[in-house]
Amino acid sequence: MSVQVLAAASPRDLGLAAADVVLARLAARRNPVLGIATGSSPLPLYEQLARRAGDLSPLRGFALDEYLGLPPGHPQSYHAVVRREVIDPLGLDPAAVRVPDGAAADPDLAADRYEAAIRTAGGIDVQVLGIGSNGHLAFNEPGSALDSRTRVVALTASTREANARFFPSLRDVPTHALTQGLGTIREARSLVLLASGPRKAQAIAAALTGPVTPDVPASVLQLHPDVTVLLSGGAEAALDPAEYSLVRAARAERH
């Protein structure tokens, strides 16, 4: 396992450090492919990448997941979120960024085609990740097979409740999603995970220091050769600084 852990003094510093990591790894690739996570944790990264869009090569992207049953035009579909938070701010070509087809008539076939599209693109160079308080990655809930592929999953009650803030009510939150599997995520050349706040502390500690188990999906990070974990706001609180080097990444904004 090769994990670098950085603890930043603020979300902005978290984004700065994450952008440095992502840009360095993408620069080594001729036709770079970025794996895109949604949610609040990666937003500081995308904000800094937008400021440094001139440093980006022509970039292709694949989103981690999509709700099942929401049309692409729905404001809370990840098609719309990725367009709003990543494609437009970074100036990417919308045709070069793929999101799973949650409106497909045959979602299982859509999942297989998404896997094939990632392979055809040459794989994902840098996969951005967040983590759920129950240790999930993407929509891989506890119990997901560590070698799972893109597929339809049922969302747990806790995940639906966490996402209800984006919808008029809990009953409007979809019950299923299409998600890249843990096996799919592990095939990315580099993983960059961001987490903020004390609610994520126990999940981070379990993922990095506990056993590798489907009960903690993010524990698959321990099986990957190039992982950077960036934390702020107490997300590092349950880690032992003697075992993991926690680097304060507070710096003046350069762009």
Q: What is the pLDDT of residues 5-28, one digit of tens each?
A: 999 888 889 999 999 999 999 998
Give which of 120, 122, 84, 82 is closest to 102, Cα–Cα.
82
Q: Indicate if the pLDDT at residue 249 is higher than 50.
A: no
More confident residue, 247 or 221: 221
Given this model, what pLDDT does residue 252 score? 39
More confident residue, 194 or 254: 194
Averaged pLDDT score across all residues of the chain: 92
b/e 210-235 (16+ beta carbons within 10 angstroms → b) = beeebebbbbbbbebebbbbbbbbeb
Q: What is the pLDDT of residues 30-58, one digit of tens each?
A: 899 999 999 999 999 999 999 998 878 78
In the chain, what percentage of residues exceed pLDDT 70?
94
Number of alpha carbons in the 13 Å side-chain half-sphere of residue 50: 14
Would you say 114 and 70 are in contact if contact means Cβ atoms under 8 Å apart? Answer: no
Q: What is the pLDDT of residues 219-233, one digit of tens each?
A: 999 999 999 999 999
C-alpha to C-alpha distance for 2 and 221, rounded to whole angstroms: 9
C-alpha to C-alpha distance for 113 and 66, rounded to whole angstroms: 14
Transcribe 165-233 into DSSP letters. Answer: GGSSSGGGS-SEEEE--HHHHHTSSEEEEEEESGGGHHHHHHHHHS--BTTBGGGGGGG-S-EEEEEET
Q: How far is CA 90 from the centre of its chain?
A: 17
* 229 beta partners: 5, 193
Query: How many other C-beta atoms lie within 10 A of the C-beta of residue 73?
Result: 9
Q: What is the pLDDT of residues 164-203, one digit of tens each?
A: 999 999 999 999 999 999 999 999 999 999 999 999 999 9
Catalytic positions: 65, 134, 136, 141
